[in-house]
Amino acid sequence: MSQIDDLPPLRDVIRIHELQARKSLGQNFLLDLNLTLKVARTAGDLSDCAVLEVGPGPGGLTRALLVAGARRVVAVEKDPRCLPALAEIAAHYPGRLEVLEADALTIDLERVADGGPLKIVANLPYNVGTQLLVDWITSANWPPVWQSLTLMFQKEVAERIVAAPGSKAYGRLGVLAGWRCHATLAFEVGPKAFTPPPKVTSAIVHLTPRKAPLDCDLKALERLTAAAFGQRRKMLRASLKPLAADAEARIAAAGIEPTMRAEQLEIADFVKLANAFAAG
């Protein structure tokens, strides 16, 4: 673990500020600064945009984002124990780091962007990561205020986000992400990179918004995918029956075989079905 700036090594920061990771907050601190720099670079050019980071902890990724040239970083941290360590980083990079003590689920992205481009880069807390992603990719306004999402998840969740039809990982999350975004799995991160080491491998996912997703009512698509994948072993005519008395007729009208199962459908098929079930 080499240094990327003149600030103390992260292990020293954690020791000095007594920052033991808390399971209740979904914390697993990423200590390898070379690895945090790789995460930051995966997000692309940061020099002309604001960067939102969620759950910075002792600031390993925060430092990497600043070293990588981020014009401005807004770090949202719910744990007040981490604020003194983040304040030291802010002093080292004057005018470029703003630390907000807040719950990321309540953050106004328009306020963070402040009229300019925004990228979101984060080692997301495990307990809220999926909810944050869903919130960001189901924004009522599209294209969204953010230009890209570069996010760390448990590998299993990452695979669900980028899953293709026919795979075991393909489900509601993959449909929502694929409908609104281009999503790729950038690289994996082993447990030993963290403290404490989690029991699972993690992975970085990079998402960019589709400028013109297929026209579809979001609420209808969410209901449709929840029903279809909630009983994924059943044929569509059975799994979607709770949504409408004439479910089989609507499925056929959308050009889909009622005997197919959810995992066999392309994202475009789900859009057709959602529109068919939204009508009436």
Please state whether 69 falls in left (phi above 0), alpha (psi between -120 and 50) or beta.
left
Distance separating alpha carbons of residues 150 and 53, to the nearest angstrom: 10
Distance separating alpha carbons of residues 123 and 148, to the nearest angstrom: 15
- Tell whether 30 is in a known binding site: yes
Say which residue the tokens 């979607």 belong to: 240
- Tell whether 110 is in a known binding site: no
Tokens standing for residue 131: 């909810």
Q: H or E segment at 120?
A: strand 118-123
Per DSSP bridges, beta strands 118-123 and 50-54 are parallel
Neighbouring CB atoms inside 10 A of 134's CB total 14
- Tell whether 28 is in a known binding site: yes
- Tell whether 224 is in a known binding site: no
- Tell whether 83 is in a known binding site: no
Distance separating alpha carbons of residues 132 and 177, to the nearest angstrom: 12
- Tell whether 66 is in a known binding site: no
Per DSSP bridges, beta strands 97-101 and 72-77 are parallel
Indicate the length of the chain as a whole number: 280
Annotated binding residues, written as ranges, equal 28, 30, 55, 77, 103, 123
Annotated binding residues for S-adenosyl-L-methionine, written as ranges, equal 28, 30, 55, 77, 103, 123
